Amino acid sequence: MRTMLLGSLCALLAWPAAAENLRVRSGESIAAALELAEPGSVIEVEPGVYHEALVVDTPNVTLRGIVRGPERPVLDGRGTLNDGVIASGSPFTMTGFAVRHYKGNGVSTQGVDGVFLTDLVIDDTGLYGVYPVQSKNISVTHCTVTRIRDAAIYVGESQGALVAMNYVHHNVAGIEIENTNDAEVRDNLTQDNTAGILVFVLPGKVLKEGKRSRVHRNWVVGNNTPNFGDPESIVGSLPHGIGILLMGADDTLVENNQVRENASLGIAITRLAEEHAKKDPPLEPMTDGARIVSNHLDVNGTAPHPGITKGYGGGGDFGWDGTGKGNCADLADGARTVGAPIGACADTPPTTSAAPHAMHGAETDAMPMAPPPDLTGAAAVVRIRGMRFEPRHVSVKPGQTVVWVNDDNVVHTVTSGAGTLPSHAPLSSPFLTRGQAFRHTFAEDGRYEYLCLPHLDQAAMRGATVTVAK
């Protein structure tokens, strides 16, 4: 607190000055620092556990968690506080926190223009993990969100959003884009949720459309967790085993996603149910103008939820309920389609070469190969193969570069973190598909532990290190 008081004094003496940085140490209160925040303030929070619910109404505040290896500040609601963070000030930035055990929600922005949420590790925060609503110009990246009983990342009634590089697993819904225009959902890994990615409209909202979203380059894998949402809520009726669902949103592009092992439907297109739509007549309930192109669909629909069997006649890689105008899909020859037959997309060549590649099956040469990885300047190369880092421990000198190459047929990451806790800094690779490389140049001495986000439950995929010493 002394730092804060001193900072305030300096601000008074030097007025008008740039807003000060405020430092919060373990045992101090972040809310108390927010009381002193001015537009432009950066609140730096040391690692520690903070039992607080934060409200940020001051414009242009940054909440910056200081991440030191496995340590980061934790907002812990202990199951008694309602929300981790509610922000209304524009813009709002938050990085480097863990948020857990809230009753209502992790981080919500309400009516904010400019939302920057990155490197948040969110677990068990009630209804939603990250919820920008009635907001615009949103970026949610590099967040890990787990055990949420509605949507892990929910963008509602908003304009313009980037949801990228997030890892969301064991939630009811992974990523939801609701009554929102111009969202880009890319390079996320959604795994082991009830459903992976949903782009849809609901009745009873002021913004009555959801248009022009682009869902691409995501990994949507094994979203088969039985629904544990409130049975009386809309999400509570979501059948498990859905990869990507479009419901009532228009002009959505679904491209180049890896969608596999979702037991009901890999990709589904359906209308908003009539009983919902009739409550809000201006809302147009059909899904129109969906383009499903160049996706890799494999082993979906093998054990469909009874509701899917009833509605579509069975499970599959792709299902359409036959409603809406201008929907098309380019599907590989082997794709299993259910429901109504859908036409191919007119102006794209059929993706005959995009035969699926199995997660654990034989390699096929049909998978598009990345160009050979660029190894120039690498002091050490780590191959990720057979679900392990090889070698597991490497040593380099300061200023030298390590390159990781994924040789596996599954997606991996190279992510800083100790044990099973990702810290995302300094190593934070994108999801690496087969043949893709990631490089990092280490400036400072140290021992850098890292893990693979999608596989941190496997001992061989965590605890790997880079030692940097002169």
Partner 1 sequence: MGVLLAAATGLERPFPPLAGEAPTPERAALGRLLFFDPVLSEDGSLSCAHCHQPERAFTDGLATARGRGGAPLARNTPTLFNVGTKPRLMWDRRAGSLEEQARIPLLGADEMAADPGRLVARLAALPEYRERFARAFPGATPLSFANVTRALAAFERTLVSRRSRYDRFAAGEREALSAEERSGLALFRSLNTRCFECHRLPTFDAPLALGVGVPSPDPGVGGASGEPAQRGLFGVPTLRNVALTAPYMHDGSLPTLAAVVDFYRRGGGRALGVAGDRIDGQVRAFSISDAEAAALVAFLSALSDESAGPAVPERVPSRLPIHRRATAP
- Interface residue with partner 1, options 62, 95, 108, 144 (CB under 8 A): 108
By CB under 8 A, is residue 78 in contact with partner 1?
no
Q: Lay out the site mask for partner 1 across 133-152 (x = CB under 8 A, - = otherwise).
A: xx------------------
By CB under 8 A, is residue 431 in contact with partner 1?
no
Question: What letters, b where the CB count within 10 A reaches 16 and e where it falls short, cover 131-151?
Answer: bbbbbbbbbbbbbbbbbbbbb
To the nearest whole angstrom, how small is the minimum distance from the Cβ of residue 202 to partner 1?
7
Chain center to CA of 133: 16
By CB under 8 A, is residue 59 in contact with partner 1?
yes
By CB under 8 A, is residue 153 in contact with partner 1?
no
By CB under 8 A, is residue 234 in contact with partner 1?
yes
**Size of the residue set binding partner 1 (CB under 8 A):** 42
Q: Which stretch binds partner 1 (CB under 8 A): 43-51, 101-109, 116-124, 138-146?
A: 101-109
User: What's the token pair of residue 183?
Assistant: 């969202």
To the nearest whole angstrom, how small is the minimum distance from the Cβ of residue 130 to partner 1?
11
User: What's the token pair of residue 20?
Assistant: 């000060």
By CB under 8 A, is residue 38 in contact with partner 1?
no
To the nearest whole angstrom, how small is the minimum distance from the Cβ of residue 105 to partner 1?
3
By CB under 8 A, is residue 407 in contact with partner 1?
no
CB closer to partner 1, 279 vs 310 = 279
Strands (E), 179-278: 181-186, 189-191, 195-200, 214-216, 219-221, 242-247, 253-255, 258-260, 265-270
**Identity of the amino acid at 387:** M
Q: Which stretch binds partner 1 (CB under 8 A): 128-136, 209-217, 304-312, 331-339?
A: 128-136
Q: Dihedral, CA atoms, 243, 249, 252, 258, nearest 10 degrees?
A: 0
Determine which helix (DSSP H) or strand (DSSP E) holds 114, and give its type and residue range: strand 113-118
**Identity of the amino acid at 42:** V
To the nearest whole angstrom, how small is the minimum distance from the Cβ of residue 181 to partner 1?
19
CB closer to partner 1, 132 vs 266 = 132
CB closer to partner 1, 55 vs 421 = 55
To the nearest whole angstrom, how small is the minimum distance from the Cβ of residue 58 to partner 1?
6
**Phi, then psi, of 461 in degrees rounded to 5:** -110, 20
Strand 219-221 versus strand 258-260 pairing type:
parallel
Q: Which stretch binds partner 1 (CB under 8 A): 50-58, 137-145, 253-261, 339-347?
A: 50-58
Chain center to CA of 266: 18
Q: Can you tell me the distance from the alpha carbon of 371 to that of 470, in angstroms, rounded to the nearest whole number?
A: 33
Provide the sign of the torsion angle of the four alpha carbons 318, 319, 322, 323, taken in this order: negative
Tell which residue, 363, 372, 316, has the closest CA to residue 340. 316
Write out the binding residues for partner 1, residues 259-278 only, by CB under 8 A. 275, 278
Tell which residue, 58, 167, 188, has the closest CA to residue 122. 167
The footprint of partner 1 (CB under 8 A) covers 35, 39, 53, 55-59, 82-83, 86-90, 92, 103-105, 108, 110-112, 126-128, 131, 133-134, 202, 204-206, 230, 232-234, 275, 278-281
